[in-house]
Amino acid sequence: MGETVISLADLRYLAPVPPIPAQPVAASGLLSDQLGRPLRDLRISVTDRCNFRCSYCMPKEVFDRDYVFLPQSSLLSFKEITRLARIFVAHGVQKIRLTGGEPLLRKGLESLVAMLAELRTPDGAALDLTLTTNGSVLARKAKALQAAGLRRVTVSLDGLDDAVFRRMNDVDFPVADVLAGIAAACDAGLGPIKVNMVVKRGTNEQEIVPMARYFRSHFGGQAVLRFIEYMDVGASNGWRMDEVLPSAQVLALLRAHWPLRALEPTVEGETAQRWAYADGVAEVGVISSVTQAFCQDCNRARLSTEGKLFMCLFASRGHDLRALLRQGHSDAEISSALGPLWAARDDRYSELRASAPAPAATAQRRVEMHYIGG
């Protein structure tokens, strides 16, 4: 018998359909996984497509003209997303982040925002509804998104130097247009805006201080910069530990220019460590996914573009919720199927990576970030 070769694209389909328990179980909002972690945060990828080709996420050599993205019929519709989101909210989710790929490329996204904005937690509270974007079309869309009910946005920006940024997005996209997007989002009332910079040693570390200086003195404290350690997500970015610049070094660099004061976390499970500049003009953060794992508090689930549920950013297999929707199961049945999935969750990849680096074979089986959502 010949050996079975599993291509990158095929990995997206490794997802069993969750069993429906014989007796329906009502959602209590009090789910707890194997490590005692609640379910609070749902990240929904609304498209696997993107107009950028950041080398750490969708390198051009892999995501080229021949790459097969998901067909429209595979994507969850807005109705299906909202239906699942409602079930997740009953189970305790309080925050929803739309992501991708580039979420603003999904046609009519404002309608989905409006549908999600109507959901209420069991206590009657509105959701913390947010979105992560590369900012390329944000200047055009910020107002409509805010009007539809979006609360905040996170914008990714890896440098201020135009040549460095154009090289990193690898489609020659200018910095100025992303800055215009951030400004438009501030004007539309979507602040405070988080600005995420992935730091890759040898590629953009020289941008750390200019970025900090810029965001300290612009947008009146409404744009909060966070430096993210380059992560080993997916199987196509050729990640190497020596390209990770530990957050401790980023902080040392910042401190050499400005005194900093540590801030308390604002919400449970917060990924960023926050710091205030001592002169009080702004705050800044670091996300140390590699050097200081935060799995202990991880309350996040991820829903892929085609409705697969992933319990961890580094999971190699999902659970096919779209099949449950399209097989005609009721909300009560789907909700009952969801509880045991969270209860069985024991993922803590980053903590395990810290104690023993994953063998290359494991990396081959991870899903890509643009598909499951950042």
Q: How far is the CB of 234 from ligand SAM (least distance, A)?
A: 7
Token pair recorded at residue 155:
């914008």
Binding status of residue 350 toward ligand SF4 by CB under 6 A: yes
Contact partner, 349, from ligand SF4, ligand SAM, none, Cβ < 5-8 Å per class: ligand SF4
Q: How far is the CB of 304 from ligand SF4 (least distance, A)?
A: 13
Contact partner, 8, from ligand SAM, ligand SF4, none, Cβ < 5-8 Å per class: none
Part in contact with ligand SAM (CB under 6 A); list of ranges 107-115, 229-237, 276-284, 322-330: 229-237
Interface pick for ligand SF4 out of 152, 249, 294, 332 (rule CB under 6 A): 294
Q: How far is the CB of 4 from ligand SF4 (least distance, A)?
A: 28
Q: How far is the CB of 102 from ligand SF4 (least distance, A)?
A: 5
213, exposed or middle or buried, with CB in 10 Å at 0-12, 13-18, 19+?
middle
How many residues bind ligand SAM (CB under 6 A)? The answer is 20
Binding status of residue 46 toward ligand SF4 by CB under 6 A: no
Q: How far is the CB of 109 from ligand SF4 (least distance, A)?
A: 15
Other Cβ atoms closer than 10 A to 23:
6
Binding status of residue 258 toward ligand SF4 by CB under 6 A: no
Interface pick for ligand SAM out of 47, 94, 130, 132 (rule CB under 6 A): 132
Of 82 and 133, which has the nearer Cβ to ligand SAM? 133
Distance between CA atoms of residues 15 and 117, nearest Å: 29
How many residues bind ligand SF4 (CB under 6 A)? The answer is 23
| Residue ranges in 134-153 that form contacts with ligand SAM under rule CB under 6 A | 134
The answer to whether the beta carbons of residues 181 and 132 sit under 8 Å apart is no
Part in contact with ligand SF4 (CB under 6 A); list of ranges 65-73, 104-112, 210-218, 290-298: 290-298
Distance between CA atoms of residues 82 and 77, nearest Å: 9
Binding status of residue 199 toward ligand SAM by CB under 6 A: no
Contact partner, 231, from ligand SAM, ligand SF4, none, Cβ < 5-8 Å per class: ligand SAM
Q: Cis ω on the peptide bond leading into residue 192 (within 30° of 0)? A: yes
Supply the angle between the helices 78-90 and 331-343 in degrees, to the nearest 10: 60
Distance of CA 45 to the CA centre of its chain: 8
Part in contact with ligand SF4 (CB under 6 A); list of ranges 25-33, 80-88, 89-97, 98-106: 98-106
Residue indicated by tokens 């003209």: 65
Other Cβ atoms closer than 10 A to 219:
21
Residue indicated by tokens 């909002």: 29
The strands making up 300-303's β-sheet, listed across from edge to edge, are 260-262, 273-277, 283-287, 223-229, 193-199, 152-156, 128-133, 95-99, 41-45, 300-303, 308-310, 319-320
DSSP 9: G
Token pair recorded at residue 71:
């067909």
Part in contact with ligand SF4 (CB under 6 A); list of ranges 107-115, 220-228, 306-314, 357-365: 306-314
The answer to whether the beta carbons of residues 203 and 169 sit under 8 Å apart is no
Binding status of residue 54 toward ligand SF4 by CB under 6 A: yes
Contacts to ligand SF4 by CB under 6 A: 50, 52-54, 57-58, 100-102, 134, 156, 294-295, 298, 300, 312-314, 347-350, 370
Contacts to ligand SAM by CB under 6 A: 50, 56-57, 99-100, 102, 132-134, 156, 196, 198, 228, 230-231, 233, 237, 369-370, 374
